[in-house]
Chains A and B, each alone.
Chain A
Amino acid sequence: MTLQVLPRGKWLGARVKRVEDPRLLTGEAKYLADITLPGTVHVAFVRSPHGHARIRRIDTAAAKEMPGVLAVFTADDVAPLPPLASGLPVEGLKPTPQPVLAREKVRFVGEAVAAVVAESRYLAEDAAEQVTVDYEPLPAVVDAERAMQPDAPILHEELGSNIVYQKTTTLGDIEGAFAQADHVFRRRLHTNRFVAAPMETRGCISVYERASGHLTFYASTQMPHMLRLFLALFLGIPEHKVRVISPEVGGGFGQKMTIYPEEVVVAYLGKVLGRPVKWVEDRRENLAAATHAKEQIIELEAAVRSDGRILGLKARLIGDGGAYSFNTASALIEPLAGAALIPGVYDIQHYQHEVIAVCTNKSPVGAYRAVGWTAAQTARELFFDEIARDLGLDPAELRRRNVVSPEQFPYTTCTGMVYDSGTYRESLERALELVGYEELRRRQAELRQQGRYLGVGISLYVEPTAWGSEIALQAGFPFPSHDNATVTIDPSGKVRVAVSVHSHGQGHETTLAQVAAEILGVSIEDVVVEHGDTDRAPWGMGTYASRSAVIGGGMVALAAQEVRQKVLRVASRLLEVAPEDLDIQDGTVFVKGAPDRSLSMFQVAFAAYLDNRVRAEGEEPLLSATKFYDPRATYSNGCIVTVCEVDVETGLVRLDRVVAVEDCGTMLNPMIVEGQVMGAIAQGIGGALYEQMAYDEGGQLMTDTFVNYLLPGAAEVPPLTIEHLESPSPVTIGGIKGIGEGGLLATPASVAGAVLDALAPFDARIERLPLTPERIVEAVGHS
């Protein structure tokens, strides 16, 4: 059996109901906050109310006297803990070490200044209010371009500037492309700062056993093994004595793929205090101090021929990194990722980009689903819409004239990405067909006569997935990325699959069980998938960047394949036939063509472990294999089309429908693929129309509750149509690509594009997102 193509029988590719659901539906599932250990004490953090201030003095005496208070820790009390910094090996990137509790200065509202530990969270919060911090407020800077000016307030004085990275890269013959242009167009877009806002906030519990020196750390994290490594290093506990358990996790979307200062502090408190120490953040903390995302200022310039062919692009991407170039992947995480994907699905070989990363007095920026790419896609697609309008071309036609053609695969972009396969043009045509594009254009013209404004927005995208070492390098982040799976058949014939990828809603316990069940020829009910506990799962990087279907699926396939061979060897000795003459179906190993000559998986496994006669010389009894997978780069793609109507008097946008045609190669479970796409689309609708982290000029956070930070609800999300195209990757196991991010990568451009299309008669130009009613009314009024 070659693994280029996976077998598709009863399980793989089927709409299997999720095995994890019953415990979630009944409330039995245990998330971090639901875990209570005897003797637990609780942490409340004292956080900065200022965007930028010097800390003159912290008075903890009154807080320490409060009932039930065990301790109050400030920077001096956690002196052994090193500051956090990005380890991204990119030349010219300046580090901005972040103390785990603020030392000397605070640089954003919500930065942790002190940690109060008490017998209950209520008492800890009471005492936190009694901690007095004497601040000397400093001028703040909240705009990235302002922060680049020489007279701007400086966050990290030792750097002498707020710019932590600035580099221009020229690819191809950019001057030649512009010299040949019939037209040169320019556009600027300042994308909004929005956030993952998983329904479950961050949290952790630190349990230290003094006698043995073992730390057990429960955390709502996407990457248990990475957290284990860094906690071991930061706390000086040998790694083999650290166990990280990530229990049920209520969503991550990238926000939980980092090492947070609070996590290091809580881990340390557990070690110092010798009691279980628990911290569950509240929503205000999550909005203020968990990583923010997606804010960039992108300026684009295009050299365009009269027929709509884009000859070359220049881009300037300023990433507003917030107060610290954060440890996830630094302040480059947005603009560098964005720069690599500006050409996107289009065949553009002449490209120049300037990438700038800047610190401002806002919460640090980290990963959020389609990090960097959402802003790049939105800027480019809205720009292309404008170019089409200015040339008098249909925006679909402009895309047809520039998209990479099927015969060009494998296609190497000017930024070095190798698109392995895909349905770029086909997804565009199919999405237009599904939405009834021609008819919509007729209807749009009719409605305009009546003073009604219908809009159609097209966002054609490619999505780097399968985050392994190769795609990381192609995307600009030279950091290894790979994972492991262990597949074991126990003596009674049941299957245990342990994986280093982590599920926080993605349904790995189902999809990865489908892979193992298919290859081993057993029922999914006989497979259990374990993850999230470093003592049970083999080492790996965790789940982020649409990697788990490809890497998880691939590594489980490899390990299951090896275990299958072991099963067949054992059975061949029992049945006295060659292993090649055997097959396995429904948990029965049988002789091909003679199904009566068979053994149950129980009989084979039992014999493998406990009947010494069946083992060939030197063979181990364990029916187990651990396999590593670091896939080649693969790219998913698709097209999202939005139809909306805009009320130009009130600025209200009514979304009619969103059509998504997506291609993630071989699907493990189409139901789960659709769930990923629909969820990401809803987040994209939020990003286009509602969500914005707002700060005032002084660095004060204006959006610290769900009352003023608006998430889309059921009434804001229109009917979604999802259709699949399936072009298996020629380079990954089973042809699997990934699916996690495309919806959020492409939807803001599609929704904003639809709104601006509706407003085309007003020649409305909008430079900032989200498209709030105020902005829409203003843009219409300015026409």
Chain B
Amino acid sequence: MARVSIGLTVNGQAVSAEVEPRVTLADFLRDELGLTGTKLGCEHGVCGACTVLVDGAAVRSCLMLAVQAEGADVLTIEGLSHNGLHPVQEAFWEHHGLQCGFCTPGMVLTAYAFLQERPDPSDEEIREALAGNLCRCTGYQNIVAAVRAAAGKLAAAS
């Protein structure tokens, strides 16, 4: 299959590659760039495990083709913090907001993007924001608590 040249920024680094047009952004990140922190839970856009940020917006990387990310700025879980844990990650740790960890990168990035837009959310808004990310282990309550705590941490830091 003919390959297409793409150029994009991933976690602050310029990346150029030749990809088959049918390759998803998720597979490109995982298989070509080795960024396996992005998880695949359903590959049909429901579970949210593959969530990454594309130009600041939370996106399901299983539903987007790598070629569609041409020129984009992509942030994956690996790029969220270069020095220890990000406050959102810290809050998930402190509040036991993860168990098996498989949904966690997508959950953390969704929460991160949400808190950029809505720095002081209510619990109901948090639940709504997380509605597109499935977790099978936690029952969500500790995730909601973690996002609430992360909002506090981010507010204190700003």
Q: Out of A25, A198, A201, name the residue touching B85 (CB < 8 Å).
A: A25
Let me know if A25 and B93 touch, CB within 8 A: yes
A714, B136: Cα distance in complex, Å: 11
Chain A residues with Cβ under 8 A from B136's Cβ? 196-199, 251, 253, 679, 683, 711
User: Which of A14-22, A57-65, A453-461 touches B?
Assistant: A14-22
Nearest-CB residue, chain B, relative to A28: B37
User: Which of B2-10, B53-61, B65-73, B123-131 touches A?
Assistant: B123-131
Chain A residues with Cβ under 8 A from B20's Cβ? 122
Assuming A250-B100, A675-B96, A715-B128, is B36 touching A30 (CB within 8 A)?
A: yes
A282, B44: Cα distance in complex, Å: 10
What 0/1 readout, one digit per residue, does chain A (521-557) give for beta carbons within 8 Å of chain B?
A: 0000000000000000000000000000000000000
Let me know if B137 and A679 touch, CB within 8 A: yes
Q: Out of B96, B100, B143, name the residue touching A199 (CB < 8 Å).
A: B100
Chain B residues with Cβ under 8 A from A30's Cβ? 36
Let me know if B143 and A714 touch, CB within 8 A: yes
Chain A residues with Cβ under 8 A from B85's Cβ? 22, 25-26
A28, B79: Cα distance in complex, Å: 11
Quick check: is A564 within 8 A (CB to CB) of the other chain? Answer: no
Let me know if B96 and A18 touch, CB within 8 A: yes
**Chain B nearest CB: distance from A283 CB in Å?**
4
Interface magnitude class on chain B: 35 or more
Chain B residues with Cβ under 8 A from A714's Cβ? 126-128, 130-131, 133, 135, 140, 143-144
A253, B40: Cα distance in complex, Å: 19
User: Which of A153-161, A323-331, A500-508, A603-611 touches B?
Assistant: A500-508
Quick check: is B113 within 8 A (CB to CB) of the other chain? Answer: no
Quick check: is B115 within 8 A (CB to CB) of the other chain? Answer: no
Let me know if A199 and B135 touch, CB within 8 A: yes
**Chain A nearest CB: distance from B104 CB in Å?**
5
A719, B139: Cα distance in complex, Å: 10
Quick check: is B63 within 8 A (CB to CB) of the other chain? Answer: no
Binding site for B on A (CB under 8 A): 17-18, 20-22, 24-31, 33-34, 36, 122, 196-201, 248-251, 253, 282-283, 504-507, 671-672, 674-675, 678-683, 705-707, 711, 713-715, 717, 719-720
What 0/1 readout, one digit per residue, does chain B (138-153) give for beta carbons within 8 Å of chain A?
A: 1111111000000000
Assuming A18-B96, A282-B43, A283-B42, is B77 touching A713 (CB within 8 A)?
A: no
Assuming A25-B92, A717-B141, is B99 touching A506 (CB within 8 A)?
A: yes
Assuming A27-B77, A200-B100, is B134 touching A682 (CB within 8 A)?
A: no
Let me know if B144 and A283 touch, CB within 8 A: no
Q: Among the interface residues B38, B104, B139, which one has the most CB atoms of the partner chain A within 10 A?
A: B139
Chain B residues with Cβ under 8 A from A249's Cβ? 100
Chain B at the A interface: SS class: loop
A695, B136: Cα distance in complex, Å: 23
Interchain Cβ contacts under 8 Å between A and B, 23 examples: A17-B96, A21-B93, A22-B89, A27-B36, A27-B77, A122-B22, A199-B100, A200-B100, A201-B41, A250-B39, A250-B100, A251-B102, A253-B136, A283-B44, A283-B47, A675-B137, A679-B136, A679-B138, A682-B140, A706-B42, A713-B134, A713-B140, A719-B141
Let me know if B47 and A199 touch, CB within 8 A: yes
**Chain A nearest CB: distance from B27 CB in Å?**
8
Let me know if B42 and A682 touch, CB within 8 A: no
Quick check: is B78 within 8 A (CB to CB) of the other chain? Answer: yes
Chain A residues with Cβ under 8 A from B49's Cβ? 199
Let me know if A248 and B139 touch, CB within 8 A: no
Chain B residues with Cβ under 8 A from A505's Cβ? 99-101, 137
Within 8 A of A (CB), among B99-130: 99-105, 108, 126-128, 130
Chain A residues with Cβ under 8 A from B23's Cβ? 122
Quick check: is B16 within 8 A (CB to CB) of the other chain? Answer: no
Let me know if B78 and A283 touch, CB within 8 A: no
**Chain B nearest CB: distance from A168 CB in Å?**
37
Let me know if B96 and A672 touch, CB within 8 A: yes
Chain B residues with Cβ under 8 A from A680's Cβ? 139
Chain B residues with Cβ under 8 A from A198's Cβ? 100, 102, 136
Nearest-CB residue, chain A, relative to B144: A714
Q: Out of A31, A196, A506, A681, name the residue touching B102 (CB < 8 Å).
A: A31
Nearest-CB residue, chain B, relative to A677: B139
**Chain B nearest CB: distance from A119 CB in Å?**
12
Q: Among the interface residues B85, B102, B134, which one has the most CB atoms of the partner chain A within 10 A?
A: B102
Nearest-CB residue, chain A, relative to B49: A199
Q: Among the interface residues B36, B85, B99, B135, which one has the most CB atoms of the partner chain A within 10 A?
A: B99
Nearest-CB residue, chain B, relative to A29: B101
A-B residue pairs, 7 tightest by C-beta: A27-B37, A250-B102, A24-B101, A505-B100, A678-B139, A682-B139, A505-B99
Nearest-CB residue, chain B, relative to A707: B46
